[in-house]
Amino acid sequence: MQDIDNLGTARSLLAWDQRTQMPPQGAGVRAGQIATLSRIYHEMFTSETTARLIEEAANEVNGADYESDEASLIRLVQRDYEDATKLPTDFVKRMSELTSRGQQVWAKARAEKDFVQFQPVLEQLIDMTLEEAALRGYDDHPYDALLDQFDRDLKTADVKAIFDTHKPALIDLIAAVSEQQDRVDDSCLHQHFDIDQQRAFALDVVKAFGFDFERGRQDTTVHPFAMSMSRYDTRITTRFNDDFLNPALFGMMHEAGHGMHGQGFSDEIDCTPLAGGGARGYSMSVAESQSRTWENLVGRSRGFWQWAFPKLQAAFPGQFDDVDLDTFYGAVNRVQPSLIRVEADEATYNLHIMVRFELELELVSGSLKVADLPDAWNAKYQDFLGIIPPDAALGVLQDVHWSSGAIGYFPTYALGNLLAVQYYNKALQDHPSIPDEIAAGKFDTLLKWQTEHIHQHGRKFNADEMTRRVTGEGMQSQDYIAYLQAKYSDIYGLS
Amino acid sequence: MQDIDNLGTARSLLAWDQRTQMPPQGAGVRAGQIATLSRIYHEMFTSETTARLIEEAANEVNGADYESDEASLIRLVQRDYEDATKLPTDFVKRMSELTSRGQQVWAKARAEKDFVQFQPVLEQLIDMTLEEAALRGYDDHPYDALLDQFDRDLKTADVKAIFDTHKPALIDLIAAVSEQQDRVDDSCLHQHFDIDQQRAFALDVVKAFGFDFERGRQDTTVHPFAMSMSRYDTRITTRFNDDFLNPALFGMMHEAGHGMHGQGFSDEIDCTPLAGGGARGYSMSVAESQSRTWENLVGRSRGFWQWAFPKLQAAFPGQFDDVDLDTFYGAVNRVQPSLIRVEADEATYNLHIMVRFELELELVSGSLKVADLPDAWNAKYQDFLGIIPPDAALGVLQDVHWSSGAIGYFPTYALGNLLAVQYYNKALQDHPSIPDEIAAGKFDTLLKWQTEHIHQHGRKFNADEMTRRVTGEGMQSQDYIAYLQAKYSDIYGLS
């Protein structure tokens, strides 16, 4: 298993290098290297030897505590093995070819704002996704098999219930805020900001959070990401925008949140399939909750800016002289229904996800035809957010996910927002001093709590197990709604 | 074979990242990843399946032209397979443990200038090296089996003959130069030089040479190296010294020379064992000839500086105003018997190598005991270069090679100097315009010639085959001596 994990993380390094360091013409060779490592990984993992070793180990650990490293490793690896052997090689190859073509066609269609070009590929992708769901198997809904790839054991019915529960509250909240939108002015975030100064300030912030640069590094990419090969080698990347402060600053907090998660795996599970951040079967919802905690619950809190705003003023001399803390705090929390998911604020974000989830479900169920997708998309944006995309690039073609075959991924983003608040509330219950500490630039109590309750376990637990273990209850949206209502009542003076 | 090459180059990337990008605490995990890839590489390459495939392929290409890609690939891979299967796993493990410990002991001994600490490990290393030579097999001398690792088919007797032939000429030349040493003043090279300006200037130079940054990159390391994973991804590194111009400038030319070699593999052999820069069985002499060509024959030529010196003056405003071209040309060619091989000039370099070669030969033959090595080292430095090291750190402990088990490597450095001149003379014969082109900042005729005659072939030919193919004769030292005599007669006004 350690050899297999080493192969997997070596492949991760090849991917990291491809996105951060590789010379422009190195892509062809790199694809070959990654394909070789992937093939050997798959062959080693699905070999009869591995099956026998897993079976023997399962007999050995039989009776061990469910939460023990040993029992958890075997439980996870048995599921991984089932997953890896369910799809025939021919299907994997066809799917890989289709998604590779899909992404090319999508990129061109988006550039030309022309959904019709993408339509036939998306139709094929939906068909193959249904084929995949059948191969993987499911009890109630084919979409269950899709969710399971990104969040093991997550069920469509549960996602639907939790989304339906908080959708009206979000819509109401946004309506209330929009009546008070003059109360917030975020023009101070839209200035020219020197990129080296942005980097230095954001690095200081994530160092203070606790991202360990002895065990990690930060680089620049167009599409930011975090990658943990081990708790001792966890890397994050950042996108810089020279006339908008948010992408680099809150983006680096977000990726550092993922990064600290990866740096928090226990030594016992590091470099085993139990760690494996980003591996199949990992809970993407739990992962997202950790990045959102640092980006939003800490990084967009008033307390944090009590500590950080004077430092920001010093880092950008003259640029925030006329801005006070309240104005700045309002600015970074401005609510604005927009067309683009990745730029969405905390109030609107989950509605963007619900649009996609509902459409995916209709497509997979067959109640919506791909040809009708753009109209359905626009109708939902009108219903949920009150705005209609002017073209497909700003609408139905905005995300890469579908073209790459990632159907069932989107919900984890929204669930991550919910879990972030549920877990954070429990941390506050255990350590009521955390808000004051944050306002004093002290973040280790929170990080230590996360590490102890969440990070150290890697992917030992699915999202439901983790959530019940941490909070004593299942996923719910009440905490999130309460958090948003309190925050925006304060900022927007809602009654 | 392509899978095996992909595994090998993936391992190379892990090593590159380790030396240039990896977070400080990532070393342990990295060692595990590299060990896994090495083990899989070895298992795949030495498997019965590989043996069968090589045999079947050999039957298929039977009768193909010796120089054809197909016949060459099989010929090389058959030898690689023999090499890889000659050493028992237990021996490889013991050797790996010994060299790992050897490097630690050596580093401490060097730091404390105390050879006695290193002596017992070196004794074991010599014993195991003899054991390895016996396992690998040889006809005349156990040292043949050691040379073969770094330069396939190179023979001790030939190295000895070529070294003995030119040693007296070098000693005479240095004596003659030392009587005129006041003619050269290199103080202009020893100033404070801004590192960013150094990098920018050196990058401009190697770009002009033809190192392709679309297919390569440059980074900073303490120990510079070049690494070619493919002609499309070839990377070089540089060490910067802020009060001495030479290490970065000539070092980058040197590594770019290796790099352009790696960028020159033909598309047909790229990503196959026929390319494999740095792989076992590659001619390190031929490799070194290519780096030395750009560092010395081009980079230390008067013509080059006719073009480059005004650019250097502009790159370091005010720092070379009082220096004229002749003074600068003399400075970069100053001959100075010194204690340190890596800082040696063109005239003294091969004598440093001969010290090591003669001592290695005596150690392997048993005529010199390890305990007597420091005295023998000092005596040879006195004989060849007229200087005696004040301590072991500046003497017998200066190089890492022996501690890592690399006995038989040193000669290839000196042979590289000889081959560089032999090949360059042939290029000049084919293209008499090259010196004038260099003086005009035009380098593509030379690079194209190298690519056609040398680079494109990868490791298809051993050093002797390559040299006869390129020049019509075997390795010799006359050209090198004639080159040095002409150069230094001019600079030092020798009669």
Instruction: Inform me whether the C-beta atom of residue A388 falls under 8 Å from chain B C-beta atoms.
Output: no
**Contact criterion met (CB < 8 Å) for A23 and B229:** no
Distance (Å) from the C-alpha of residue A45 to the closest C-alpha of chain B?
14
- pLDDT, residue B263, reads 96
- Measured between beta carbons, the chain B residues lying within 8 angstroms of A10 are 10-11, 14, 33, 36-37
Distance (Å) from the C-alpha of residue B230 to the closest C-alpha of chain A?
7
B346 CB-contact burial (10 Å; exposed 0-12 / middle 13-18 / buried 19+): buried
- pLDDT, residue B278, reads 47
- Quick one: pLDDT band at residue A278, thresholds 50, 70, 90? very low
Residues A108-142 have pLDDT tens digits of: 999 999 999 999 999 999 999 999 999 999 999 99
Residues B164-204 have pLDDT tens digits of: 999 999 999 999 999 999 999 999 999 999 999 999 999 99
Pair A397, A106: CB distance under 8 Å: yes
Q: For residues A277 and B98, which has the higher predicted lDDT (pLDDT)? A: B98
For A235, list phi and psi in degrees, rounded to 5.
-125, 140
**Contact criterion met (CB < 8 Å) for A36 and B6:** yes
Average the pLDDT over A309-327 and give the result. 97
Q: Say which residue the tokens 């010294």 belong to.
A: B241
Pair B463, B422: CB distance under 8 Å: no
- pLDDT, residue A277, reads 52
Residue A270 has pLDDT above 50, yes or no: yes
Residues of A with a known catalytic role: 255
Distance (Å) from the C-alpha of residue A234 to the closest C-alpha of chain B?
8
- pLDDT, residue B282, reads 76
Return the number of CB contacts < 8 Å for A and B. Answer: 115
Chain A segment 250-289 residues within 8 A of B by beta carbon are: 270-271
Instruction: Inform me whether the C-beta atom of residue B30 falls under 8 Å from chain A C-beta atoms.
Output: yes
Q: Which of A237, A257, A252, A241 is nearest to A204 (CA)?
A: A252
- Measured between beta carbons, the chain B residues lying within 8 angstroms of A235 are 23
Instruction: Inform me whether the C-beta atom of residue B403 falls under 8 Å from chain A C-beta atoms.
Output: no
Structure tokens, B306: 């006719």
Distance (Å) from the C-alpha of residue B423 to the closest C-alpha of chain A?
30
- pLDDT, residue A173, reads 96
**Contact criterion met (CB < 8 Å) for A29 and B3:** no
- Quick one: pLDDT band at residue B343, thresholds 50, 70, 90? confident
- Quick one: pLDDT band at residue B280, thresholds 50, 70, 90? low
- Quick one: pLDDT band at residue B367, thresholds 50, 70, 90? very high
Candidate from A11, A22, A33 with C-beta closest to B9: A33
Residue B354 has pLDDT above 60, yes or no: yes
- Quick one: pLDDT band at residue A441, thresholds 50, 70, 90? very high
Q: Scanning every residue of chain A, which has its alpha carbon at the shortest distance from the alpha carbon of B8?
A: A33
Pair A405, A399: CB distance under 8 Å: no
Q: Scanning every residue of chain A, which has its alpha carbon at the shortest distance from the alpha carbon of B13?
A: A14
**Contact criterion met (CB < 8 Å) for B21 and A23:** no
Q: Scanning every residue of chain B, which has its alpha carbon at the shortest distance from the alpha carbon of A271?
A: B29
Residue A89 has pLDDT above 90, yes or no: no
Give the whole-angstrom CA distance, residue B351 versus residue B355. Answer: 6
- pLDDT, residue B303, reads 98
Q: Which of A68, A5, A1 is nearest to A277 (CA)?
A: A5
Residue A281 has pLDDT above 70, yes or no: no
DSSP B136-148: H--SS-HHHHHHH
- Measured between beta carbons, the chain A residues lying within 8 angstroms of B229 are 26, 29, 33
Distance (Å) from the C-alpha of residue A189 to the closest C-alpha of chain B?
32
Name the least confident of A273-277, A347-351, B129-133, B447-451. Answer: A273-277
Give the whole-angstrom CA distance, residue A466 versus residue A284. Answer: 12
Distance (Å) from the C-alpha of residue B30 to the closest C-alpha of chain A?
9
Candidate from B26, B230, B235 with C-beta closest to A233: B26
Residue B269 has pLDDT above 70, yes or no: yes
Give the whole-angstrom CA distance, residue B275 versus residue B2. Answer: 11
**Contact criterion met (CB < 8 Å) for B36 and A10:** yes
**Contact criterion met (CB < 8 Å) for B37 and A7:** yes
Pair B395, B352: CB distance under 8 Å: no
**Contact criterion met (CB < 8 Å) for B6 and A232:** no
- Measured between beta carbons, the chain A residues lying within 8 angstroms of B39 are 3
- Quick one: pLDDT band at residue A231, thresholds 50, 70, 90? very high
**Contact criterion met (CB < 8 Å) for A29 and B213:** no
Q: Describe the strand order of the beta sheet including B216-220 as a list of residue ranges.
A: B216-220, B233-238, B226-230
Structure tokens, B90: 């237990």
**Contact criterion met (CB < 8 Å) for A232 and B28:** yes
Residues of B with a known catalytic role: 255
Give the whole-angstrom CA distance, residue B390 versus residue B417. Answer: 28
Residues B402-415 have pLDDT tens digits of: 999 999 999 999 99
Candidate from B30, B35, B213 with C-beta closest to A23: B213
Q: Around Cβ A366, how many Cβ atoms within 10 Å? A: 10
Residue B310 has pLDDT above 80, yes or no: yes
- Measured between beta carbons, the chain A residues lying within 8 angstroms of B2 are 32, 36
Instruction: Inform me whether the C-beta atom of residue A32 falls under 8 Å from chain B C-beta atoms.
Output: yes
Structure tokens, B478: 């006359």
- Residue of B233, B260, B263 to mutate when probing chain A, most A C-beta within 10 A: B233
Pair A238, A217: CB distance under 8 Å: no
**What's the whole-number average pLDDT of chain A?**
95
- Measured between beta carbons, the chain B residues lying within 8 angstroms of A230 are 26, 29
Distance (Å) from the C-alpha of residue A326 to the closest C-alpha of chain B?
38
Residues A403-424 have pLDDT tens digits of: 999 999 999 999 999 999 999 9
Q: Which of B195, B334, B186, B324 is nearest to B252 (CA)?
A: B195
Give the whole-angstrom CA distance, residue A456 versus residue A448. Answer: 10
Candidate from B10, B229, B230 with C-beta closest to A10: B10
Q: Say which residue the tokens 């920018």 belong to.
A: B200
Give the whole-angstrom CA distance, residue B31 versus residue B96. Answer: 13
Candidate from A28, A214, A230 with C-beta closest to B232: A28
- Measured between beta carbons, the chain A residues lying within 8 angstroms of B35 are 6
Residue B276 has pLDDT above 80, yes or no: no
Residue B487 has pLDDT above 50, yes or no: yes
- Measured between beta carbons, the chain A residues lying within 8 angstroms of B30 are 233
**Contact criterion met (CB < 8 Å) for A7 and B40:** yes
Give the whole-angstrom CA distance, residue B471 versus residue B450. Answer: 12
ipTM attached to this prediction: 0.91
What is residue A343's DSSP assignment?
G
Instruction: For residue A194, give every residue at least 6 positions away whose Cβ sits within 8 Å of its Cβ, in sequence order, or none.
Output: A242, A316
**Contact criterion met (CB < 8 Å) for A29 and B214:** no
Please report, to the nearest 10 degrees, the dihedral formed by the alpha carbons of residues A453, A454, A459, A464 taken in order. Answer: 80
Instruction: Inform me whether the C-beta atom of residue A230 falls under 8 Å from chain B C-beta atoms.
Output: yes
Structure tokens, B388: 């005696």
Q: Which of B102, B162, B194, B26 is nearest to A233 (CA)?
A: B26
- pLDDT, residue A343, reads 87
- Quick one: pLDDT band at residue B318, thresholds 50, 70, 90? very high
- Quick one: pLDDT band at residue B277, thresholds 50, 70, 90? low
Instruction: Inform me whether the C-beta atom of residue A31 falls under 8 Å from chain B C-beta atoms.
Output: no
A131 CB-contact burial (10 Å; exposed 0-12 / middle 13-18 / buried 19+): middle
For the entire predicted model, the pTM comes to: 0.93
Structure tokens, A75: 């439980």
B119 CB-contact burial (10 Å; exposed 0-12 / middle 13-18 / buried 19+): middle
CA dihedral for A28, B9, B43, B150, sign (positive or negative): positive
Average the pLDDT over A419-436 and give the result. 98
Instruction: Inform me whether the C-beta atom of residue B40 falls under 8 Å from chain A C-beta atoms.
Output: yes
- Measured between beta carbons, the chain A residues lying within 8 angstroms of B43 are none
Q: Say which residue the tokens 């197990």 belong to.
A: A465
**Contact criterion met (CB < 8 Å) for B37 and A216:** no
- pLDDT, residue B281, reads 53
Candidate from B28, B213, B229 with C-beta closest to A29: B229
Give the whole-angstrom CA distance, residue B96 versus residue B98. Answer: 5
Residues A186-228 have pLDDT tens digits of: 999 999 999 999 999 999 999 999 999 999 999 999 889 999 9
Instruction: Inform me whether the C-beta atom of residue A88 falls under 8 Å from chain B C-beta atoms.
Output: no
Pair A422, A463: CB distance under 8 Å: no
Distance (Å) from the C-alpha of residue A27 to the closest C-alpha of chain B?
8
